[in-house]
Chain A
C-alpha cells in the first residue's frame, strides 16, 4: 500500500461577505508519496484556491488537510508556518525571488529561516541544488541578471531547499516560453520520480497529461480524474 503524503477531506473554502462565494466545495483527495498530480480547470474554477489550501497557505472554512498523516486544521498560524517551512516547497507563476539577493542567497533563505544546518552545510546544499538545475554559474547573480526560465529554476531550487515532502506549484510555467516550460516541467517530473510529492496547477493540457494523475476542477469540485498511461476516465465528476 502506497504511503499518503497529502490528503484533503471534505475541503471547503468559502469567502464570507454580503454575498458569500464558495471557492472550493467539498473536495476529497489523497496524493501518494512520490506522485505527480496536475490540477487543471478553467479560470476561477478554484484550482489555485485548492492548491493554497493543500500547501497550508490558506485555511479551509470546513474540512481537513493532512500532511504526512498529520491533521492541520487545529494548528495555529505559527505552527502552520513551521509546517510550510519544513514540509512544503512552493513554486509560483512568478518567481518571487528577493530581488536584492543572489540566486544562492535566495535558495539559502528557507534553510536559514529553518536554522537546522550550519552555514557551510547550507551553502554546500544550495550550490548543489543550483548545480543540479544547471545554474551553477549563476549562483552569484541577482534575479534581474537571469532569464525567466533561470529565475523559475532558482525558485524550484529554493522550494527544494529544506527537503520538503511536498512541492506545490501554481502555474509554474505560466510566464515561460516553450523551451523553459519543457525544462521546468522535466525538473518537476524528475523531482517526483525521486520520491517527493508534486502537485501542480496548470492550464496546459499537454503538460497535465504527463502527470501521474490529472484532476480537473470545475466550480470548486472535482469534475474528473485521469491517470497517466491508462488515458481513460477513472472517475466521473461528482454531480
Chain B
C-alpha cells in the first residue's frame, strides 16, 4: 500500500497545476454545498421556530374526527344512518377543568383553556371576519408567546379595559385603530359588543396578525352565546417535535380532536419536503459536477501513464493494485479539496450570516439565518469523496484493462 501511495503521490505532486485545479473544483463544490445546506436549513428552522412560537403546539377542540356511530349501527351490520341532527348538544369540552388537570399530570408541558369563536369587527365602515379567542391571561403565558409578542400594552390589560381585546398590529393598521380605541364586535348569534383595544401584538405570521383577536373568557363566551363554555384547550410542550405523538395520546384519552402543529400545517410541511428534495438534487448535482475536475485529471494522468501502467503490470503488479494507484490519487485530491472546501463553506456561511434582509412577515430587518451543523460537513465531505473515487475509478479501470503487450509493442 505504501508503494501504491508513493506512486500516487509522485503522480499528483509532479502535476501541481492540474492537481490544484482538481482540488479547487472539489473545494468549490463542497464549500458552496455547505453554504447552501446551512442557508436552506437555517431559513427553514427559523420559519418553523416562528410558526411553532406563534401557534399552540397542540390544539384540542370540542369536535370528533368522525361522527360517532349510532348504537343501532354497532349492533346490526345492515343499518346505516346519516344526517343525524345533534339536537340539544351543548358545545364545549365537558369537564374541561378535570381534563386539564389530568393532562397536566403527564404531558411534558402545560395546558390552557380558551373559548374560540368567530366574529366580525365592525369599525368605520370596515367589516372584517376574525377569530376571537377568550383566554385566561394567567394561564396563557404558560402556553403561548403572546406576552413577548406584545408591541403595545400587556396581556393583563385585558382585564383593565371594558371588554378589552388584543389584536394584531396588521389588523389595527387595516382598521385604523390604536390602543384605547373602541371597535364593535358582532357575533354569529347577532350579539354585539363594544370592545376596547387594550393592546397590540405581532406574531410574525401575517395571516395570524390580521385575523386573531384575544379577549378574556367572558366576552368570548358572550359572543358565542354560551356562558361558561371552554371549547378549546391549547397545549405547549417542552419539545415541540413531540407534538404529533402527544396529540395522538391526548386524543386517545379525551376523545376530542387533538391537532398537532405539524398536522395543522401539513400543507406547509409537505412543501418543505418538495423544497428539500429540490435543494438536495441541486446540491448533489453541484458535488457531482465538482468531481468532473477529478475525472479530468485522472483521465489525463492515466492517458499519460499508459506506459507506466503497462510496465507495472508486466513487472507483476496486479491490475487492481495498479488501478488503486489512481483511486488513491483521486482520494488525495478529494481529501485536500474537501478540507479546503470545509474552510470555504464555513467562511461563506459566516459571510452570509452578516447580510441582513427585510422580512415582510415581521416587518423587521434581520440577518440571514444560517444553521451550522457538523453533519453538513461530514455528509457533504463523504459524498464528495465518493464522487471523486467514482470519477477516478472509470478512467483507471479503462486504462488498467489494457494488455501490457499492446502498449509495449506500440512503444517499440
Tell me, yes or no, whether A binds B. yes
> Which residues of A are interface residues toward B (Cβ below 8 A)?
48, 52, 57-58, 77-78, 81-86, 88, 90, 92-94, 96, 98, 100-101, 105, 109-110, 112-114, 158, 170-171
Of A58, A100, A114, most buried by chain B (CB within 10 Å of CB) is A100
CB < 8 Å neighbour of A94 from B14, B321, B412: B412
Q: Which of B318-365 contact A (CB under 8 A)?
A: 318-319, 321
Q: How far is the CA of A83 from the CA of B314 in the complex (A)?
A: 11
Can you spell out 14 A-B residue pairs with CB atoms less than 8 angstroms apart? A48-B409, A48-B412, A58-B405, A81-B318, A84-B314, A85-B317, A96-B408, A98-B308, A98-B311, A100-B14, A101-B10, A109-B315, A113-B315, A114-B316
| Cβ A112 vs Cβ B408 within 8 A | no
| Cβ B308 vs Cβ A112 within 8 A | no
Contacts of B3 in A (CB 8 A): 109, 112-113
Contacts of A85 in B (CB 8 A): 315-317
A77: nearest chain-B partner, CB-CB: B319
| Cβ B311 vs Cβ A96 within 8 A | yes
Q: How far is the CA of A98 from the CA of B7 in the complex (A)?
A: 9
| Cβ A57 vs Cβ B317 within 8 A | no
- Let me know if B11 is at the binding interface, CB within 8 A: yes
| Cβ B311 vs Cβ A81 within 8 A | no
| Cβ A84 vs Cβ B2 within 8 A | no
| Cβ A82 vs Cβ B316 within 8 A | yes
Asked if A113 meets B411 with Cβ closer than 8 Å, knowing A57-B405, A98-B311, the reply is no
For the side of the interface on B, what is the size category? 20 to 34
Q: Which of B1-23 contact A (CB under 8 A)?
A: 2-3, 6-7, 10-11, 14
- Let me know if B149 is at the binding interface, CB within 8 A: no
Contacts of A48 in B (CB 8 A): 409, 412
Asked if A100 meets B318 with Cβ closer than 8 Å, knowing A52-B405, A81-B313, A94-B411, the reply is no
Q: Which of B370-412 contact A (CB under 8 A)?
A: 403-405, 408-409, 411-412
Contacts of B318 in A (CB 8 A): 78, 81-82
| Cβ A112 vs Cβ B2 within 8 A | yes
Asked if A110 meets B14 with Cβ closer than 8 Å, knowing A48-B409, A92-B408, A98-B7, the reply is no
- Let me know if B182 is at the binding interface, CB within 8 A: no
> Which residues of B are interface residues toward A (Cβ below 8 A)?
2-3, 6-7, 10-11, 14, 307-308, 310-319, 321, 403-405, 408-409, 411-412
Q: How far is the CA of A105 from the CA of B412 in the complex (A)?
A: 24
Chain A nearest CB: distance from B192 CB in Å?
Answer: 93
Q: How far is the CA of A175 from the CA of B409 in the complex (A)?
A: 15
Q: How far is the CA of A83 from the CA of B315 in the complex (A)?
A: 10
Q: How far is the CA of A86 from the CA of B7 in the complex (A)?
A: 21
B409: nearest chain-A partner, CB-CB: A48
Chain B nearest CB: distance from A207 CB in Å?
Answer: 18
Contacts of B311 in A (CB 8 A): 92, 96, 98
| Cβ B321 vs Cβ A100 within 8 A | no
Q: How far is the CA of A78 from the CA of B320 in the complex (A)?
A: 9
Q: How far is the CA of A84 from the CA of B14 in the complex (A)?
A: 29
Chain B nearest CB: distance from A2 CB in Å?
Answer: 27
| Cβ A90 vs Cβ B11 within 8 A | no
Contacts of B319 in A (CB 8 A): 77-78, 81
| Cβ B314 vs Cβ A90 within 8 A | yes
Q: How far is the CA of A81 from the CA of B319 in the complex (A)?
A: 9
Q: How far is the CA of A63 from the CA of B273 in the complex (A)?
A: 66
Contacts of A77 in B (CB 8 A): 319
Q: How far is the CA of A62 from the CA of B129 in the complex (A)?
A: 95
| Cβ B404 vs Cβ A110 within 8 A | no
Contacts of B403 in A (CB 8 A): 58
Chain A nearest CB: distance from B286 CB in Å?
Answer: 33
Q: How far is the CA of A170 from the CA of B319 in the complex (A)?
A: 23
Contacts of B314 in A (CB 8 A): 57, 84, 90
Q: How far is the CA of A100 from the CA of B315 in the complex (A)?
A: 17
Of B10, B315, B319, B411, most buried by chain A (CB within 10 Å of CB) is B315
Chain A nearest CB: distance from B5 CB in Å?
Answer: 11
Q: How far is the CA of A96 from the CA of B305 in the complex (A)?
A: 11
A88: nearest chain-B partner, CB-CB: B316
Q: How far is the CA of A81 from the CA of B3 in the complex (A)?
A: 17
Contacts of B308 in A (CB 8 A): 98
B307: nearest chain-A partner, CB-CB: A96
Chain A nearest CB: distance from B407 CB in Å?
Answer: 10
CB < 8 Å neighbour of A81 from B317, B405, B409: B317
| Cβ B404 vs Cβ A113 within 8 A | no
| Cβ B316 vs Cβ A86 within 8 A | yes
Contacts of A81 in B (CB 8 A): 313, 316-319
| Cβ A100 vs Cβ B10 within 8 A | yes
Known contacts A48-B409, A81-B313, A85-B315; 18 additional CB pairs below 8 A are A57-B405, A84-B314, A84-B315, A92-B408, A94-B411, A98-B7, A98-B10, A100-B11, A105-B6, A109-B312, A112-B2, A113-B3, A113-B312, A114-B316, A158-B315, A170-B408, A170-B412, A171-B412
